[in-house]
Structure 1
Amino acid sequence: MSFQPVVQALTQIITDILFFIPRLVNGLIILIIGYLISWVVRWILRFVFRRIGLEQLVERTGIHNAMRGLGVRTGLPEILAQIVFYFLLLSFATAAVRLMEFTSVADLLDNVLHFVPRAISAAIMVIFGSMLARFLGNTITTVAQNVNITYGRALGRIIEYTIVAFVVVLAISTLGVDTSILTTSLTIIIASVGLAIALTFVFGSRDSARNVIAGYYVRQNFRPGQRLTLGDYSGRVHSTSGAYTILEVTGEGGRPGTISLPNTLLLQSAVAGQETTPEPGAGGDQTGGSASPQ
């Protein structure tokens, strides 16, 4: 019985171990040095960010609020410092693993390193996209409320969430994921919802739409506090909402009350308007009249 194959196998194993030990030691040295360098760079970045007041700058620009809206509680300076730390550490780890001739692991770490910049770009895109979406949503809400559209807040939220959805799809495509199906589906859904809302508004809310449009012209002609007389109705204008104008009237027994009139009624009918305004230096009242456009 020959033990030569066994001896050769054991010799090869011992030789491989002896050759691997220097590579392992060198790889560990590189990893330790890389960790120290990464730690020092992170400390320097934290110090610089504190000195320049980056946290306060981020708070003033609204980026921090946008990140909180996305569920991120950590400050942006700390996130940047941690990203640099782990990126450097991952780079040194890749070099150390490649030195140890772990080719598969090194290739995996290389792919992760190449993915990090795309992930950072996608995150920045989502943050600034959400800021833009919130700004546009709040702007639309404010404009709608200024013209007394009662559903202005819901309209602003719809615009905001729609923009965020498109930004998220764009960010996913930045990561290298094929989003053609997702983009097509999202476009179809938004178009369908928009068409449904448009059809509902056109066929089911024509009167409301006319009242909302008429409300703009009613506000141009009649002001709160002005007395109006329209047929059997007489009272002072309390407010003009999206579709109705509220008059303050005196009911039976002299009790005050309110009545809501469609804006189109004020716009299409002859309305007598009176307003009592004290003139400077005059002891009496001056009465003026106005009529709505026919």
Structure 2
Amino acid sequence: METIRNWIDQIQQAGIPLVEGFISYLPHLAGAMALLVLGWFVSGLVRTGMVKLVRAVVLLANRVLARGGNFRLKLSPPVLNLLSKLLFWVVFLFFVNLAAHNLMLTAVSDWLDQVVNYLPTFVAGGVILVGGALLSILARDVTYTAASSADLPQARLMGTLAQAGTLVTTLIIGLDQIGIDVTFLANLVVIMVAALLGSLALAFGLGARLFISNVIGAHFLRQQYQPGQRLRLGEHEGTILEFTSTAVILATEEGRQILPAHLYSELPSTLILPREDKEEKEDANE
């Protein structure tokens, strides 16, 4: 009987500090739970606000851009959903770190401190990448519209090249902001761009002479003649319908004839006057 009492006393002596420690730890546990619940609620609000803000900004940007052309910014729902989830967990991670500190979990809190301290750099890099993606779309649309309005060939290819160049530039800047060594990537891009520009310059020098001569010829044709006048260019004769960036379009007896504008500098050109103008000039000479 006395042995049982000794056991009970030992259990009480060992359990009382444990119970007291648990009771004293309860406020920390309750505070951590409150922080997690609050963090979940705040993260949800930030996520919802971010989605509405991005949609409003895209809508406002499209209204502004619509005044100057057919530019439109598009952000697909999966991308917007991914960005909103990332923002949700980033905000919630701050509250998890506070909860770990409140629970006095030193190892976990130290690791989370490092992650939280790195987050601004990571978020800045992410913002640069996302902004670069949107800017690349705008650069593509602007380049394509400008090239199309100037009747330049391969307008779509020019827009794609502008988008790719913007994306590569922002990728290098974003990765460098995050802390990734991009020296090799930057050197590789410089070599590729130099090779591309060299090949384009060679192709332009060899194959674009005719195009340039057509552009120059069309420029001087516009200065000398107007639509509606009758033109004889070498053996070709007809009424001028319109000028393009590289050609002049005549209405002939056979039909609609397109002449390359470089013929203006190679063949004699004559403005054929109407009969009334001819008779007036003959009377004036008499």
TM-score (norm 2): 0.70
How far apart are residue 21 of structure 1 and its match? 5.9
How far apart are residue 248 of structure 1 and its match? 3.0
Whether 1:72 aligns to 2:79 is: yes
Counterpart of 2:127? Answer: 124
Aligned with residue 167 of structure 1, among 165, 170, 183 = 170
Root-mean-square deviation (Å): 4.1
- SS for the counterpart of 2:252 is strand
Instruction: Tell whether the 8 Å contact from 1:211 to 1:263 is kept in structure 2 after alignment.
Output: yes
Q: Structure 2 CA distance, aligned partners of 1:22 and 1:213?
A: 90
Cα offsets for 1:107-132 (capped at 9, x unmatched): 43233322322232223223333344
Whether 1:141 aligns to 2:144 is: yes
Q: Structure 1 CA distance, aligned partners of 2:77 and 2:193?
A: 22
Q: Structure 2 CA distance, aligned partners of 1:40 and 1:189?
A: 48
- SS for the counterpart of 1:178 is coil
Q: Structure 2 CA distance, aligned partners of 1:97 and 1:182?
A: 39
Counterpart of 1:228? Answer: 231
Aligned with residue 185 of structure 1, among 184, 188, 191 = 188
The residue identity in structure 2 corresponding to 1:56 is A
In the superposition, relative to structure 1, how do residues 213 and 30 fare at CA in structure 2: closer, same or farther (>3 Å)? farther
Counterpart of 1:60? Answer: 60
Unaligned runs of 5+ in 1: 1-13, 277-283, 288-294
- SS for the counterpart of 1:68 is coil
Q: Structure 2 CA distance, aligned partners of 1:188 and 1:257?
A: 48
Counterpart of 2:69? Answer: none
How far apart are residue 238 of structure 1 and its match? 4.1
How far apart are residue 244 of structure 1 and its match? 3.2
Q: Structure 2 CA distance, aligned partners of 1:189 and 1:215?
A: 35
The residue identity in structure 1 corresponding to 2:59 is E
Q: Structure 2 CA distance, aligned partners of 1:171 and 1:196?
A: 29
Which has more helix, going by share of residues? 2
Q: Structure 2 CA distance, aligned partners of 1:234 and 1:173?
A: 63
- SS for the counterpart of 1:150 is coil
Which has more strand, going by share of residues? 1
Identity percentage over the alignment? 21
Which has the larger Rg?
A: 2
Counterpart of 1:33? Answer: 34
Counterpart of 2:208? Answer: 205
Instruction: Tell whether the 8 Å contact from 2:39 to 2:95 is kept in structure 1 after alignment.
Output: no
Aligned with residue 271 of structure 2, among 270, 273, 289 = 273
Instruction: Tell whether the 8 Å contact from 2:129 to 2:171 is kept in structure 1 after alignment.
Output: yes
- SS for the counterpart of 1:237 is strand
Aligned with residue 249 of structure 1, among 252, 275, 279 = 252
In the superposition, relative to structure 1, how do residues 115 and 46 fare at CA in structure 2: closer, same or farther (>3 Å)? closer
Instruction: Tell whether the 8 Å contact from 2:32 to 2:102 is kept in structure 1 after alignment.
Output: no
Counterpart of 1:6? Answer: none
Counterpart of 2:109? Answer: 106
The residue identity in structure 2 corresponding to 1:202 is G
Q: Structure 2 CA distance, aligned partners of 1:71 and 1:36?
A: 27
Instruction: Tell whether the 8 Å contact from 1:30 to 1:96 is kept in structure 2 after alignment.
Output: yes
How far apart are residue 213 of structure 1 and its match? 3.6
Aligned length: 256
Cα offsets for 1:160-216 (capped at 9, x unmatched): 221121011111111111111111111111111111011011023322232234333
In the superposition, relative to structure 1, how do residues 39 and 93 fare at CA in structure 2: closer, same or farther (>3 Å)? closer
In the superposition, relative to structure 1, how do residues 35 and 135 fare at CA in structure 2: closer, same or farther (>3 Å)? same
Q: Structure 1 CA distance, aligned partners of 2:219 and 2:29?
A: 75
Q: Structure 1 CA distance, aligned partners of 2:27 and 2:240?
A: 86
Counterpart of 1:157? Answer: 160
Q: Structure 2 CA distance, aligned partners of 1:126 and 1:275?
A: 63
